[in-house]
Structure 1
Amino acid sequence: MSEQTNPFGQVLVAVVTPMTVDGEVAWGDVEKLFDSLIEGGADGIVVTGTTGETSTLTDAEKLKLVRVGKDVAGGRAKIITGGPSNETAHAIQLARQSAEAGADAIMAVTPYYNKPTQSGVLTHFRMVANATDLPVILYDIPGRAGIPIRYETILRAAKHPNILAVKDAKGDLAEVSRVLNQTDLMYFAGDDANALPTLAIGGTGLIGVTANIAPHAYRTMVDAVNRGDLPAATAAHRSLEPLVRSTMTHVPGTVATKYILHGLGRIGSPRVRLPLVGPEDFEAALIEDDIALVRDIEGLDLRNFRPDRNAAAGGALPQIPGTTR
């Protein structure tokens, strides 16, 4: 297959949306977090994805996140809008509005809850891709969407000129290899633990949650793969393992990431919006136990990690006008 030009970068962060204790978007924290991630080596920031709590953000907030991201990035990183919706008409609308707001790309998730046939999935993706001239990443996450994007559907979608990549959270690396052999699609690891395995079989990069906390380490891993230094890439992968476990296995990744970022003093509150809630004591203890095993991650100093279970407790109902539609 011919080699695609990569308009996304390789180290992409599925960024959280920092919030106040009342559940409003904390725009000052958003700016600081975005800047720190770019300074830490991120090529791109994926706003309003699952980790960004897209399901409970209003459309106005989603578009402002794109605009703020573009301002903060100042050309240093790509801003990719996630979602955009499980309703095709709404997804088209948000894609167009995001393009107008300055988004560099769209990450379109498999329509969730509806459970359409594969014909419906393909039609949805094609219509979102038709809505703008932006490059599109398909997000294959059957654990949340309820259905996969099947192999045959991926091959058909790959023929669309704007559909250039897949974020794979299905974890079937044999299928990834098969698609890479038959299309020009780029593949991004959608499960943090699979970042190095995906790169090792020819994947392009990662769209990571744990990268909110340790972007330097993922930059190191990707750069090592690029220069053919497997031992250095493997060392980065192994050092990240307990952090990935703490972030991705005990509670939703958004919840754990905010809990850890707050404990590190990088955001002012670990608050999430309902129906998400902060970790219960036993869940927080599991997160903290895994954090205690983290050693020698570049750019991550845990000596001042001070988790606050009380601050993280519960979830918020934001007092803002508008809806998620």
Structure 2
Amino acid sequence: MTHATNTGTARPSAAPFGRALCAMVTPFTEGGALDLDGARRLAERLVAGGCDGLVLSGTTGESPTTTDAEKAELVRAVRAAVGERVSLVAGVGTADTRHTVELALAAEEAGADGALVVSPYYSRPPQDALEAHFREVADGCGLPVMLYDIPGRTGTRIEPETMIRLSEHPRIVAVKDCSYDLLGAQKVLARTGLAFYAGCDEQILALYAVGATGYVSTVANVVPEHLRAVIDAFDAGDTVRAARLQRDATELIESMTASGLPGTVTAKALLNALHLPAGPVRAPLREAGREALADLRAAHERLTRR
């Protein structure tokens, strides 16, 4: 089922968590504690900038170094700040199926609208075990599940055929795609009703143009309005403008996600430079150096001056 924009551009009607999602950083105080006030302020800014969904405690949110209690506190604080205006998707994926279910239940209790579940890392389960893991998590909680396919970090791909089988589960509704496999993505789009979200900022328009629902963006931490404008232009039928806006963001996307530093580090560096809530990263991550920060600021300034 689809609906059309004023210009006749058809989009899938199902957007379970919105279209423009930010993979929000987790603000910390200078002493390294969870900064809940900063999280509330940052969330409000992102929503004002066009985000209709926020992903908390994902890769960019430093989930490996936050405690279970901090993850739940973060959901509660952000929900209090944004109310029901936007969807909150909580990162709950771990290398342990039982622990993942526990985190999903805690996120549900804290007020999350969905669970982002990454492939178990390090143990590298085969596809049948991977499928069983996702089914057990989906069976173990009441939240709709977004699969998170990022083999470059987990060491394990969620193969398209596995996604197709998992799409039959009533609570597995979406995919955050960081596979860099456009062919595989299109196979899943063609054969399932899964809501597909681009997880790599450089692929937002490419995947959206072939039927993806939207994006989950790290770069949106600093330029939420610009990335929202990409899909808004496409929806309005102005594909030339959409392509230009995507290309205009290339330098900043590369600086933030392909410069050799994790997106968490670059996003927090820029947010701090802009006097927005972020704070330090937690070890083993380290702050961006002076030269990297200068490059990030220059790329950001060039984009925002356009």
Tell whether the structures are fold-level matches, with TM greater than 0.5: yes
Distance 1:67 1:127 in 2: 25
Partner deviation per Cα, 1:25-65 (whole Å, 9 max, x = no partner) = 11211111000000111011100101000000000100011
| 1:246/1:291 contact within 8 Å kept | no
- Secondary structure of 1:139's aligned partner: strand
> Which residue is 2:264 aligned to?
254
| 2:93/2:120 contact within 8 Å kept | no
Q: Report deviation, 1:122.
A: 0.5
Distance 2:251 2:212 in 1: 23
Q: Report deviation, 1:290.
A: 3.2
Distance 1:35 1:293 in 2: 25
> Which residue is 2:113 aligned to?
104
Q: Report deviation, 1:281.
A: 3.6
> Which residue is 1:284 aligned to?
293
Q: Report deviation, 1:282.
A: 4.0
1:266 equivalent among 260, 276, 289 = 276
State the aligned residue count: 296
1:140 equivalent among 149, 152, 156 = 149
Alignment of 1:1-325 (within 5 A): 5-250=14-259, 251-267=261-277, 270-291=279-300, 293-296=302-305
Q: Report deviation, 1:295.
A: 4.5
Instruction: Output the amino acid matched with 2:49.
Output: G
| 1:245/1:290 contact within 8 Å kept | no
Greater shift in the superposed pair: 86-95 or 221-230: 221-230
| 1:239/1:296 contact within 8 Å kept | no
Distance 1:282 1:228 in 2: 40
Distance 2:128 2:118 in 1: 15
Instruction: Output the amino acid matched with 1:230.
Output: T
Change in CA separation of 1:165 and 1:257 when aligned onto 2, cut-off 3 Å: same
| 2:16/2:195 contact within 8 Å kept | no
Distance 2:31 2:93 in 1: 25
| 2:97/2:136 contact within 8 Å kept | yes
Change in CA separation of 1:91 and 1:40 when aligned onto 2, cut-off 3 Å: same
Distance 1:70 1:4 in 2: 25
What's the TM-score, normalizing by structure 1? 0.87
- Secondary structure of 2:249's aligned partner: helix
Q: Which runs of 5+ in 1 are unaligned?
A: 298-325
Greater shift in the superposed pair: 208-217 or 83-92: 83-92
Instruction: Output the amino acid matched with 1:32.
Output: R
| 1:11/1:206 contact within 8 Å kept | yes
Question: Percent of counterpart pairs with the same letter?
Answer: 39
Distance 1:256 1:13 in 2: 15
Distance 1:282 1:258 in 2: 15
Distance 2:110 2:293 in 1: 38
- Secondary structure of 2:303's aligned partner: coil
What's the TM-score, normalizing by structure 2? 0.92
- Secondary structure of 1:107's aligned partner: strand
Partner deviation per Cα, 1:185-229 (whole Å, 9 max, x = no partner) = 111001011111110111110000000111111221111122222
> Which residue is 1:303 aligned to?
none
Distance 1:145 1:215 in 2: 27
Q: Which runs of 4+ in 1 moved over 2 A?
A: 1-6, 280-297
Change in CA separation of 1:76 and 1:292 when aligned onto 2, cut-off 3 Å: closer
Greater shift in the superposed pair: 285-294 or 146-155: 285-294
Partner deviation per Cα, 1:45-100 (whole Å, 9 max, x = no partner) = 10010100000000010001111111111111111101332210000011011111
Q: Report deviation, 1:292.
A: 5.0
Distance 1:261 1:165 in 2: 29
Distance 1:189 1:4 in 2: 17
